[in-house]
Structure formats: structure tokens, C-alpha cells
């Protein structure tokens, strides 16, 4: 794909522009593949081993005019970062940034020199009519990507389908903070739920299991997700949100289930593919906020 193309999101329908690509390892538990000694694999809790395949995702800007229309289906604060060391629990969000899979992008063109309304658009990109597409990166975009790489980096994507409900999880390591003389490691995880069937279903409960390398196993149950109980229908088949988890160890695992309800009142559980929480052990300085 050409650099910085305009696109429409094929699932959520917003207008956006690609900033830069990420090469991720996609662990798809719907695809059975024998694991060889040399292949990268993740062992799931109670599920088969899967082989990671390289897949392209993009860091994108969302047009601010479209955010109100998609706010009930997809969080537009998909990128968050830690505050300075003074406050180990403070999190900040950058609105209108998203991670988009290659197959979700529908390229389009515009004659407008500023086709996307976003506060970062003109800081990051400039119009150049000699280029196709006619947008080129400013030095500020390259510097921003380099400085904030640790908490922007997308490396692994996990996917699994149960009862025609596909769950995709992307974990992000955000950094380490010191609190009460101990180290606290933070991760963000983005989850997309997709209904691949025509039957209307509603998410009612979440059930998480969080294992830390320190030896602890935590169980979290609750109603819905991020205060919502989204309905997935043929007209609006997907819902996407982000959340955070912290451990007092440099690595761990998460897995679990979402409980859905059918129109007849019956329930079924959808598996959340197990995913690793790994810290960037070669990281010398944890990210300390937003740099320009």
C-alpha cells in the first residue's frame, strides 16, 4: 500500500488516513496448523497451540467528524500512555488514533488538501501534489514515532471464534512505574467483538483470569465491558474497546470468556483467546508521556 493513503474503515465506517504500518504476528485459533520446532507459537490455556503468521496493521488518524457517529461502537481513545513517574497510576489518552488491519481498509481519494479533521493531521502530514497519494510525512511524525515507539508498538494479535462470535485481542506493553518501593508493569489491551452470524446477540458478562509471573492468579467477573452491554446485529456487527491491566511482575497471561444472550433468553460463552503480557526487557527508559 502507498504511504499515507486515505481510507474508509470497512467495519466502523469512519474516514481516516494511514500514518505508518506495523508488522504483527497474528495467532489465529480458528486456523489449525501444525507447530514445528522453529515456528513461533503461543500455548493457550485449554486450547491448541497456534502458529503466528505475519500480518500488516496500520496506525491511523480518525476523522474527528466521524467520532460521534462511531462512539457507541468503537472507542476513539485507542492509544493511551503513562504519566510521568510522579504518579504511577495516571493514564492519558490520545483521541482519534486507531490500529486497523489491512483487510479493514477501503482506500479512497480526495481533492481536499486537508481531507481529515484531526489536531495531529497538519502536525504530521503535508500536502504534496507531486506525490500519489499527495500526503507526505513531516519530520515531526518520524520523530514522534521514534520517541513513542515503546507504547505504540503492535507486535501480537490473537483471534478466536466461538458460536460465530469472533474475538480479536491486541495487547500493548506501556511501561513500568515504581509504587510503594515495588515495580508495577502496565499493559493496554484492545478487544474487538464481531458477530459473523445474522442472529442478534448481546454481551452480558465478562470473566477474566489474570496470571502473573509472581505466582498470583486473579479472577475478574463483571457486567458488560467498559460500562456497556453492546448488542451485535447484522446492521452493527462489531464493537471495539480498550482497557488496562497492571502486574507486579514483568510478564503474565490473560484469558477468559464473554457471556452473550440470545433473543430467546438463552446464554452462551465465547472464549477470549489467551494472550501473553510481556514487558520490553530491553527498554532502558520507560515512556514518560507525550513527546513532540
Is residue 192 in some structural domain?
yes
Q: Which domain holds residue 10?
A: 6-278
Is residue 288 in some structural domain?
no
pLDDT higher for 135 or 150? 135
Kindly report the backbone phi and psi dihedral angles of residue 247, in degrees, each rounded to the nearest multiple of 5, phi listed first.
-130, 155
Is residue 292 in some structural domain?
no
Predicted local distance difference test score (pLDDT) of residue 75: 84
CATH number at residue 125: 2.60.40.1470
Is residue 291 in some structural domain?
no
Which has the minimum average pLDDT: 71-85, 165-179, 267-281? 71-85
Is residue 289 in some structural domain?
no
The pTM of this model reads 0.88
Q: How many CB atoms lie within 10 A of CB 189?
A: 18
Is residue 83 in some structural domain?
yes
Going by pLDDT thresholds of 50, 70 and 90, the confidence category of residue 290 is: very low
Predicted local distance difference test score (pLDDT) of residue 88: 53
Going by pLDDT thresholds of 50, 70 and 90, the confidence category of residue 178 is: confident
Q: Which residues pair with 260 in a beta bridge?
A: 203, 268
Q: Are 192 and 239 in contact (CB under 8 A)?
A: yes
Predicted local distance difference test score (pLDDT) of residue 281: 59
pLDDT higher for 284 or 164? 164
Structural domains in the chain (count) = 1
Is residue 286 in some structural domain?
no
113-133 pLDDT, tens digit per residue, is: 999 999 999 999 999 988 888
Q: What is the widest separation between alpha-carbon atoms in the chain? A: 59
Check whether 283 has a pLDDT greater than 60. no
Mean pLDDT of the 214-236 span: 95
Is residue 284 in some structural domain?
no
Kindly state the cell numbers that stand for 216: 498470583
Check whether 193 has a pLDDT greater than 60. yes
Check whether 8 has a pLDDT greater than 70. yes
Helices first, then strands: H and E counts in the chain: 3, 19
139-176 pLDDT, tens digit per residue, is: 999 999 999 888 899 999 999 999 999 999 999 999 88
Amino acid at each position: 500500500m502507498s504511504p499515507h493513503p486515505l481510507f474508509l474503515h470497512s467495519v466502523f465506517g469512519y474516514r481516516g488516513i494511514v500514518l505508518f504500518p506495523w508488522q504483527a504476528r497474528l495467532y489465529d485459533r480458528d486456523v489449525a496448523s501444525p507447530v514445528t520446532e522453529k515456528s513461533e507459537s503461543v500455548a493457550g490455556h485449554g486450547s491448541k497451540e497456534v502458529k503466528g503468521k505475519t500480518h500488516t496493521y496500520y496506525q491511523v488518524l480518525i476523522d474527528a467528524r466521524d467520532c460521534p457517529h462511531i462512539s457507541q461502537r468503537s472507542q476513539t481513545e485507542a492509544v493511551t500512555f503513562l504519566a510521568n513517574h510522579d504518579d504511577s497510576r495516571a493514564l492519558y489518552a490520545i483521541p482519534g488514533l486507531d490500529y486497523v488491519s489491512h483487510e479493514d481498509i477501503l482506500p479512497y481519494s480526495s481533492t481536499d488538501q486537508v481531507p481529515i479533521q484531526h489536531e495531529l493531521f497538519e502536525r504530521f502530514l503535508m500536502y504534496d501534489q507531486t506525490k500519489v497519494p499527495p500526503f507526505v510525512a513531516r519530520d515531526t511524525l518520524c520523530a514522534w514515532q521514534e520517541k513513542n515507539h515503546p507504547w505504540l508498538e503492535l507486535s501480537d494479535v490473537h483471534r478466536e471464534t466461538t458460536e460465530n462470535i469472533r474475538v480479536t485481542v491486541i495487547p500493548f506493553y506501556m511501561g513500568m512505574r515504581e509504587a510503594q518501593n515495588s515495580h508495577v508493569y502496565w499493559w493496554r489491551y484492545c478487544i474487538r467483538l464481531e458477530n459473523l452470524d445474522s442472529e442478534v446477540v448481546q454481551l452480558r458478562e465478562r470473566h477474566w483470569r489474570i496470571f502473573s509471573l509472581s505466582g498470583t492468579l486473579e479472577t475478574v467477573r463483571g457486567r458488560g465491558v467498559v460500562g456497556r452491554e453492546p448488542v451485535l446485529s447484522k446492521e452493527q456487527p462489531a464493537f471495539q474497546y480498550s482497557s488496562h491491566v497492571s502486574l507486579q511482575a514483568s510478564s503474565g497471561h490473560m484469558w477468559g470468556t464473554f457471556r452473550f444472550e440470545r433473543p430467546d433468553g438463552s446464554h452462551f460463552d465465547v472464549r477470549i483467546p489467551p494472550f501473553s503480557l510481556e514487558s520490553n526487557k530491553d527498554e532502558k527508559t520507560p515512556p514518560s508521556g507525550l513527546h513532540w
